[in-house]
Amino acid sequence: MPKVAWDYIVPIVMPADLKGIAPGKLPEELLRPIKSGGKLHWRAADAWNAMVAKATADGLELKPTSSGDLYRSYASQEASFRQRYVLKPIAGTSTKSFEGKTWYLKKGMAMLATPGKSNHNLGLAIDVHSAGEPKRLNWLIANVKDFGFSWEVVPSEPWHLRLVTGDDPTPAVQAWVDANKAV
């Protein structure tokens, strides 16, 4: 497979309508529900729906790990953070700084971005179910760029994709939007 694509990590270009919006506090009009549950920023929703349509046409199931792994409100991110991190020091674990304090990751818990710091709080990130499964991963490597997505941390987070194309949908996304426009 093209290794260059797996290394495909580019910075996010922000959609203009996110300017001045606090992460995790997107107004409803910027969010769009996703068929499988959960919500995304409307630009990311278009791109995701277009990519799912291509996957379906290719005979591959593409879905989020859960409805909570698309847009996350500040409150839900904070609740998850407080489940995983504690203020009581734990030796040898990873730490995060939040509200001016050092927080310690509980044993056996996966790391999580501090509230407001995750692309999920912008509605631009999606965690893909079973992304590391070879057939799905190879499909993603071949397709994410066409739909405006890129990874953020590889190889440790093959599931975490975020939209990086701001207000310029890729030709594949624009074609899907044109074909699915309400008439």
Closer to Zn ion by Cβ: residue 145 or 160: 160
Are 3 and 11 in contact by the 8 Å Cβ rule? The answer is: no
CA 96 to chain CA centroid, nearest Å: 20
Closer to Zn ion by Cβ: residue 17 or 127: 127
Stretch that binds Zn ion, among 122-130, 143-151, 163-171, 173-181 (CB under 5 A): 122-130
Q: Is 136 in the site for Zn ion (CB under 5 A)?
A: no
Q: Is 32 in the site for Zn ion (CB under 5 A)?
A: no
CA dist., res. 140 & res. 149, Å (int):
10
Among positions 6-25, residues that touch Zn ion (CB under 5 A) are none
**Residue from 127, 146, 166, 177 in contact with Zn ion (CB under 5 A):** 127
Q: Which residue is nearest to Zn ion (CB)?
A: 160
Closer to Zn ion by Cβ: residue 127 or 146: 127
Closer to Zn ion by Cβ: residue 66 or 174: 66
Positions in the binding site for Zn ion (CB under 5 A) = 125, 127, 160
